Amino acid sequence: MLRFTIDHSSHPTGHMALLKKVNQILLLLLVLTVCAILYNKVHQVPLALRNETVQSTCKWFCISSSSSCVPCKMGMCIGCVDLESPEEMEEEIPVVICAAAGRMGAAVAAISSIYSNTEANVLFYIIGLKTTIPHIRKWIENSKLKEIKFKVVEFNPMVLKGKIRQDASRPELLQPLNFVRFYLPLLIQKHEKVIYLDDDVIVQGDIQELYNTKLAPGHAAAFSDDCDLPSTHEMVRSVGMQNTYMGFLDYRKQAIRDLGISPSTCSFNPGVIVGNMTEWKHQRITKQLEKWMQRNVEENLYSSTLGGGVATSPMLIVFHGKYSSINPMWHIRHLGWSPDARYSEQFLQEAKLLHWNGRYKPWDYPSVHTDLWENWFIPDPSGKFKLTRPDS
């Protein structure tokens, strides 16, 4: 505390009152200075941490929303997104969907079905390449989806350099956005739990129910087993669908045999994922997946298998015996494996989520159960994306 020493013998009472007033003013200034220092310290630390996080993310991704943008230039961020309060974050259900060129209507239909069947606070993370982002943004902002909460994330395919063989039995699976699911923690940094969906799905149930899927301790993700629903077994047999590890890994290779996984083990489908991002990062899942991608480039461990696994195969290896299960009705799949094989209408009405995995997509022709998908499709305001129908 600052003090003045006053000589009462040589100064009148008025001078003493003046000095006392000055003392009070100086004391007030000192208190204000201390408060300012404490305020800066409290607010600067989160800012620094936030910038560090965004900078590391922006090596491969650019995040934007309808109200803010974080562009990347030469791998560096030059902006920052607004961060919600912890209370707001807990209320949000983050749903990741890719918007790929040539099939952007798929993402729109998926988003439309989710948004229309829930009262939950859903935040959509829409992933695209640089060339496709303006299209999907305009589509959303100029349609009835303009009310949704969403962020657009640019995926830089350079992250995949040297990790993909070009001789896969299903080359359509080589497009970069097929690997977005490997990098979920880099996309979704502020959420503990995340839902990832392939774009060729529609959701008929409340997404809150899927989000409430319980993950066992130590599990980074939940998937649907390919043997989990007896009512789908006939479909699997009729279309020759692969549902064991034998269909996705080349057991002629020593590296695969050394895993000690029986080839008859039931596979799972990673088109619907409920992920725990903390556990994912703790187990370094992304690094493990990249390791098997690089080994496949060198040794062709799975690219030529019957299942044509590109994204599925490394996930089968990394998550073997270490994942939780999704309610089977939340992933009714194989709708795209044959233009003829069909499920019963009653069964499809009871399903919570439908997945047209396979070659025959509901926006193309031929395909099955297209009416269920088209219920949720929103036409492209720009007219670029058109449905393929027999009379078109």
pLDDT tens for the chain, 392 residues long, are: 433 333 334 444 555 666 677 677 777 777 777 667 766 654 543 333 333 333 334 445 565 544 344 444 334 332 333 444 444 444 799 999 999 999 999 999 999 999 999 999 999 999 999 999 999 999 999 999 999 999 999 999 999 999 998 765 666 678 999 999 999 999 888 999 999 999 999 999 999 999 999 999 999 999 999 886 655 556 555 545 578 899 899 999 999 999 999 999 999 999 999 999 999 999 999 999 999 999 999 999 987 766 656 899 999 999 999 999 999 999 999 899 889 888 899 999 999 999 999 899 999 999 999 999 999 999 999 999 999 999 86
pTM above 0.85, yes or no: no
- Cis ω on the peptide bond leading into residue 366 (within 30° of 0)? yes
What's the sign of the alpha-carbon dihedral 224, 229, 234, 237?
A: positive
Of all helices (H) and strands (E), which one includes residue 281? helix 277-282
Closest CA to 286 of 149, 203, 188, 199: 188
Of all helices (H) and strands (E), which one includes residue 178? none
Closest CA to 259 of 270, 243, 248: 248
Ordered alpha helix ranges (H), 265-326: 277-282, 285-299, 312-318
- For the chain, what is the total number of helices (H) and then of strands (E)? 13, 13
Q: Name the 3-class secondary structure at 332.
A: strand
Q: Which residue has the tokens 């990347």?
A: 72
- 117: phi then psi, degrees, rounded to nearest 5: -115, 20
Cβ–Cβ under 8 Å, residues 96 and 188: yes
Between CA 293 and CA 311 the distance in angstroms is 9
Exposed, middle or buried by CB within 10 Å (0-12, 13-18, 19+), for 222? buried
